[in-house]
Every structure is written in C-alpha cells, then in structure tokens.
C-alpha cells in the first residue's frame, strides 16, 4: 500500500469483527443469511404493494420506497464484507472506500427522511382524515420523495468531497465498512472542517427529522385521546403502530451505537453495535410491517395464489 502523492493511500484494510480463522465461516454464514432475509423480505413488501391496486396509497407508496432503500442500505456494506471473508482479504480501494461512505450516508439519510415523511402521512390520516386525499395527493407524495433524495444526495456528496482532502498514515479501519467517523479519526491532517460538517449534518438532517417525528406523534396521540370510543382509539393507533415500532427500532439502535461507542471507546465494540442499525433493523422492518398488517398479508397471498393458478393453467395447456 504505497501513499499516493504523499497524502492519500491506494487502499485501506477493513479489520471487521475478528481475525480468528475459525470464526470466519460462522461470520460469513450469519451475515449471508441476514442479508438474504433482508433482501427477500423487503422485495416481498415491494411486490405486495406493486401487485395490489388497493395498496396504491401514500402510506404503502412510502413503505415500498423504504423497503427499496433498506435493500440498497444493506447492499452498501454487507456484500463487500462477505467478499472479503470469502477471499480472506481485508482490502478495499481508496475509491471504493469513498464510494461506500457516500452511498452509506445517502441511504441512511433517506431512511431517516422517509420515516419522517411516513410520520407526517399518519398525522394527516388521523388528524385530518377528511382532507387526506387532497393533502397527500400523488404530486405531493412525489415531491416529498424527491426532496428527500436531493437533500440526502447533497449531504452525502458534501461530506464525501470534504473527506477527499484528508491525509492518512494509518491504513487500518477498525470496522467492517468505511464509516465517516472512523475515517476522520484515522486522518493525520486537520479534521476541523470535517468535524463541523459532520456534526451540523447530524444535528440538522438527523435531529431535525427526529423532532418532526416527535411533533407528528404528539399531535397523533392528542387526536387519538380525543376519540370517545375505545374501539376508535385502537383502530386509529393500529394504523401507525408498525411505523412507530420501526421508528423506535431505528433511533433506538442508532442511539445505542453512539452511546456505547462513547462509553467504551472500543472500536471493536462500535463495529459490533453498528450491526444493529446497518443489518438487523432493515432485516426486521418487513416482519414488523407484514406481521401487523392484514393488507400486506392478503396482497402476498393473492399474488402467490394467482401465480400458482397461472402456472397450473400453463402446464395443462402444454
């Protein structure tokens, strides 16, 4: 690994979780299984929404986009780690590291924004049900998604470009992917600008959506409490229970990662904790939405029954 122009390296080493050879097959099997479950589960959500016209509503439009982003989110980190384990190599090129950092920031930001947009959708549905179709019309839904993409893309592009100015003398990243904070800590050059941009981004693009979600649910809870009947309260709350579970899981794991890394100061423990929001959360999202949602179950059942019927018809004709 020769330095390039004295400031940049040609490749980094991703140290991952463990260097013990006997643990590598276990790690490979575990993360491959989790990755396949994540991709399959989220693809089924997308398939259910796209195949059933009854699910062509704003709530399921955003849910299918969240599933797509979750697939992309895990695909940013896990396949490279699996390849490295299989080839017994820890290397990632400098360009590959910056690219991985960019897409990780992009899709994690999109996850955050979409959860906020979905909270706003539930706010309108529960607090303003008579005006729901007017407020959440297809044009507004598309605009909200477009703004989320543009904001996340600009933020990740800015942070990645600023990372290009960093110089490195240490090439080993104590993580299983190129995480921005780890890269800044490894840099031997001045990181003041990177720290400022990173913390501002976390405050504005991380804290801002979180405050928006809290505001939405404060209004939702006050509206639900105003409903006179217990059945009406349960029905209103059940429409946002799955989303609230996903929000709690996402923010709970993210906060847990940063609190644990701040208290232990251990890079290995930080990498292990990061698995919760980079792998486990996207894997559990489809289960949360499908297990608690009759519409998704019915759509998937109808799709597979239709496919089986079509196949049987084709076989009979042959």
- The C-alpha torsion from 12 through 14 and 15 to 20, rounded to 10°, is -120
d(CA 177, CA 12): 10
Report the alpha-carbon angle 135-138-144, nearest 5.
Answer: 75
Assigned token pair, 305: 């029954």
SS3 assignment, position 168: strand
> Using one digit for the tens of pLDDT, what is the confidence trace for 128-158?
989 999 999 999 999 999 999 999 999 999 9
- The C-alpha torsion from 129 through 131 and 135 to 139, rounded to 10°, is 100
Look at residue 205 and tell me whether its pLDDT is greater than 60: yes
pLDDT at 31: 94
Answering whether pTM is above 0.85, one says yes
> Using one digit for the tens of pLDDT, what is the confidence trace for 12-22?
999 887 777 78
Q: Where are the domains of the chain?
A: 3-317
Asked if residue 313 lies in contact with residue 214, where contact means CB atoms within 8 angstroms, the answer is no
d(CA 254, CA 274): 8
Where residue 182 falls among pLDDT bands split at 50, 70, 90?
confident
> Using one digit for the tens of pLDDT, what is the confidence trace for 261-318?
555 555 556 677 788 888 888 998 888 887 667 788 888 888 788 778 777 777 666 6
Instruction: State the chain's mean pLDDT as an integer.
Output: 86
Assigned token pair, 187: 């840099």
Asked if residue 45 lies in contact with residue 291, where contact means CB atoms within 8 angstroms, the answer is no
Asked if residue 13 lies in contact with residue 172, where contact means CB atoms within 8 angstroms, the answer is yes
Alpha carbon 208 to its chain centroid, in Å, reads: 17
Of 25, 140, 119, nearest to 66 by C-alpha is: 119
d(CA 38, CA 75): 10
CATH, range 3-317:
1.20.1070.10
Phi, psi (5° rounding) for residue 187? -65, 145
Of 25, 27, 40, 101, nearest to 70 by C-alpha is: 40
> Using one digit for the tens of pLDDT, what is the confidence trace for 35-62?
999 999 999 999 999 988 888 999 999 9
Report the alpha-carbon angle 106-112-114, nearest 5.
Answer: 100
88: number of Cβ within 10 Å: 8
Of 153, 154, 163, 186, nearest to 267 by C-alpha is: 186
Q: Quickly list DSSP for 121-165.
A: HHHHHHH-GGGHHHHT-HHHHHHHHHHHHHHHHHHHHHHHHHHTT
pLDDT at 7: 46
pLDDT at 301: 81
- Tell me whether strands 11-14 and 8-9 are parallel, antiparallel or unpaired: unpaired
Strand order in the sheet with 11-14: 91-93, 11-14, 172-173
Look at residue 1 and tell me whether its pLDDT is greater than 50: no
Q: How many residues does the chain have?
A: 318
> Using one digit for the tens of pLDDT, what is the confidence trace for 60-119?
999 999 999 999 999 999 999 999 999 888 899 999 999 999 999 999 999 999 999 999
> Using one digit for the tens of pLDDT, what is the confidence trace for 210-240?
999 999 999 999 998 888 888 888 887 887 8
């Amino acid at each position: 690994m020769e330095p390039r122009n004295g400031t940049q390296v040609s490749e980094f080493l991703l140290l991952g979780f463990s260097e013990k050879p006997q643990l590598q097959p276990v790690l490979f099997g575990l993360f491959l299984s989790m990755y396949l479950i994540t991709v399959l589960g989220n693809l089924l959500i997308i398939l259910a929404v796209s195949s059933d016209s009854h699910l062509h509503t704003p709530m399921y439009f955003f849910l299918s986009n969240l599933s797509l982003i979750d697939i992309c989110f895990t695909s940013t980190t896990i396949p490279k780690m699996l390849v490295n384990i299989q080839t017994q190599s820890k290397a990632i090129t400098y360009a590959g590291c910056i690219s991985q950092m960019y897409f990780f920031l992009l899709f994690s930001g999109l996850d955050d924004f979409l959860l906020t947009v979905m909270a706003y959708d539930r706010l309108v549905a529960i607090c303003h049900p008579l005006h729901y179709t007017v407020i959440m019309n297809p044009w507004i839904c598309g605009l909200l998604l477009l703004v989320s993409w543009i904001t996340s893309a600009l933020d990740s592009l800015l942070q990645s470009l600023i990372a290009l100015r960093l110089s490195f003398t240490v090439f080993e990243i104590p993580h299983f992917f190129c995480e921005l904070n780890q890269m800044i800590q490894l840099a031997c050059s001045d990181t003041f600008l990177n720290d400022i941009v990173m913390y501002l981004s976390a405050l504005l693009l991380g804290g801002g959506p979180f405050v928006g979600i809290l505001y939405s649910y404060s209004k939702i809870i006050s509206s639900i409490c105003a409903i006179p009947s217990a059945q009406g309260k349960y029905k209103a709350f059940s429409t946002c229970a799955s989303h609230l579970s996903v929000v709690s899981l996402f923010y709970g794991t993210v906060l847990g990662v940063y609190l644990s890394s701040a208290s232990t100061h251990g890079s290995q423990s930080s990498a292990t904790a990061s698995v919760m929001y980079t792998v486990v959360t996207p894997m559990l999202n489809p289960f949360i939405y499908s297990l608690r949602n009759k519409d998704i179950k019915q759509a998937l059942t109808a799709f597979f029954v239709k496919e089986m019927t079509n196949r049987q018809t084709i076989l009979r004709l042959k």
